[in-house]
Amino acid sequence: MRNMDDFPAGEGLNEPVDYRFRKMSAQDLADVLAIERKTYEFPWSETIFKDCLRVNYHCYVIESVQQVMGYAVMTVAAGESHILNICVDESLRGSGIGRSMLAHLVDRARSHRAEMMLLEVRASNTVAIDLYLNSDFNEIGRRNAYYPAKNGREDALILARIL
C-alpha cells in the first residue's frame, strides 16, 4: 500500500518509471545538493536546506530505486502556500517529473487548507514559466533585481494560483 505522500507512479512520463514522493531528510542532502549545484549558477547552500528542515518547511524528494530525482521546498501558513524551490535532475527534465512534483505540492498545500499558491521564477526561465502557466498559475507581479545573475541581477516573475 502506498503512503499518502506517494504520487501515482510514472504519470506523464514517456517511459514507465516507478517513483514516489517522500519527506526530505538530512540523509538526502548530499543528493539534493548535487542536483542543486548542477542546476543553479547561484545554488542554495547546505545551511539553507538544513534550516528548511529544522523549521519544518514542507520538504520533499522524488525518488526511484533509492535515487533522488528531484526535490521541492514549500511553506504553508495563513491560507497561503509558497513554493521556495523545485528542481529536477537535469538528465530527467522534460519527462513530466516536474509537472508531477508540482501536482504533489498542490495536493499537499490543499491538504493543509491553503487557498492560494505563490512562487517566484527567474524571468529568463521560460521552461519553468510555461510549466506554471500550463498549471493554472497567473503572473501577478514582478520583483525587480530579485535574483543574482552573472552580470548583476535578474527580475523574478511572481506567479500565483487559487487552490
Whole-structure pTM value: 0.87
Per the CB < 8 A criterion, the answer to whether 54 and 90 are in contact is: no
Residue of 120, 139, 147, 154 marked active site = 120
For the segment 150-158, the average pLDDT, to the nearest whole number, is 95
pLDDT for 150 beyond 60: yes
Give CA–CA dist 38/116, Å, rounded: 31
Residue of 19, 57, 71, 132 marked active site = 132
β-bridge pairing 116-122 and 80-88: parallel
Give pLDDT, residue 108: 97
Decide: residue 3, CB within 10 A, 0-12 exposed, 13-18 middle, 19+ buried.
Answer: exposed
Q: Find the farthest-apart pair of alpha carbons in the chain and give their distance in angstroms, rounded.
A: 50
Give pLDDT, residue 95: 85
Is there a catalytic annotation at residue 132?
yes
Is there a catalytic annotation at residue 120?
yes
pLDDT digits (tens, 9 = 90+) for 69-85: 999 999 999 999 999 99
Choice between 66 and 38, residue whose per-residue pLDDT is larger: 38
Choice between 114 and 92, residue whose per-residue pLDDT is larger: 114
As its CATH architecture, domain 20-162 has 3-Layer(aba) Sandwich (3.40)
pLDDT for 155 beyond 60: yes
pLDDT digits (tens, 9 = 90+) for 11-61: 444 444 588 999 999 999 999 999 999 999 999 999 999 999 999 999 999
pLDDT digits (tens, 9 = 90+) for 96-143: 899 999 999 999 999 999 999 999 999 999 999 999 999 999 999 999
Parse the chain into domains and list their residue ranges: 20-162
φ, ψ of residue 25 in degrees (nearest 5): -125, 170
Give CA–CA dist 35/10, Å, rounded: 21
Give pLDDT, residue 17: 59
Give pLDDT, residue 9: 39
